[in-house]
Amino acid sequence: MITCYDYSFARLLAASPVDGILVGDSVAMVIHGHPSTVTANVGMMRIHTEAVARGAGGKFIVADMPFLSFRKGVAAALDAAHVLMSAGANAVKLEGVDGHEDVVERLVQSGIPVMGHVGLQPQSVQAYGGYRVQGRSEENAREIARQACALQQLGAFAVVLECIPAKLAGEITTALRIPTIGIGAGASCDGQILVLQDLLGMNTGHRPKFARPFSDGADAVMEAVANFDAAVKAGTFPAVEESY
């Protein structure tokens, strides 16, 4: 899977072999420049989900339930999920499970496929005091495994494992019947997900070690922009054949 937030990239992903698209709440950071995902809200997720759905050509789309949207009770969570599904999502993803088991169960019963997300839960960054690998201690590892099993039990169809030791991710993957999708969780997961801008190499700031750039995207953009600028200043753009 790959994250995507807009129509033009969704059109490219539609023609790609990837199995699914996540309209992640990381949109708040990657596209809107916010310091965390905590500021994502249902309105923001709706606009980006609609844009992706217009371009995705039938690819499976998961939309993130943003911060606290699923922690204000079942009715509020159903309202938020309604907005995202109406925007074109095929499923929703939400972080954690403790305290909102009823929400997961009710969404699933309502015909809304739910993807879980355990390990590092970026919406809880303030509680962690920073973005840290989770599950390093035996106790925390067992806790994460328990949460993943609980999500399966409640009817989740898949679970994202973020930033946990590869060994733990492998144990969880073996224990679960539903697929695990890893990010910073080693090679034993059933699938992998990366943020599109990270894999394109567009991220010139801090890059977590799992976010391998598969392209020199930032260099390609800078080169194209510099070439345009030079051509305009040299008077070679636009050419006669590019004019009316």
List active site positions. 162
Q: How far apart are CA 104 and CA 9, in angstroms?
A: 30
Any contact of residue 24 with ligand KIV (CB under 6 A)? yes
**Pair 61, 49: CB distance under 8 Å:** yes
Q: Which stretch binds ligand KIV (CB under 6 A): 18-26, 108-116, 142-150, 216-224?
A: 18-26
Joined together, the tokens standing for residue 186 give 């080693």
Q: State the nearest-atom distance from the C-beta of 115 to ligand KIV, in Å.
A: 9
Interface positions, 129-168, toward ligand KIV (CB under 6 A): 160, 162
Interface positions, 75-104, toward ligand KIV (CB under 6 A): none
Quick one: which of 64, 81, 103, 116 contacts ligand KIV (CB under 6 A)?
Answer: 64
Any contact of residue 25 with ligand KIV (CB under 6 A)? yes
Q: Residue 93: which residues within 8 A CB-CB, separation 6 or more?
A: 22, 24, 62, 63, 64, 65, 114, 115, 116, 117, 160
Q: How big is the site for ligand KIV, counted in residues (CB under 6 A)?
A: 11
Residue number of the CB atom closest to ligand KIV: 24
Q: Which stretch binds ligand KIV (CB under 6 A): 11-19, 22-30, 133-141, 144-152?
A: 22-30
Task: Give the number of other CB atoms < 10 A from CB of residue 84.
Answer: 27
Q: What angle do CA 204, 217, 226 make, to 5 degrees?
A: 90
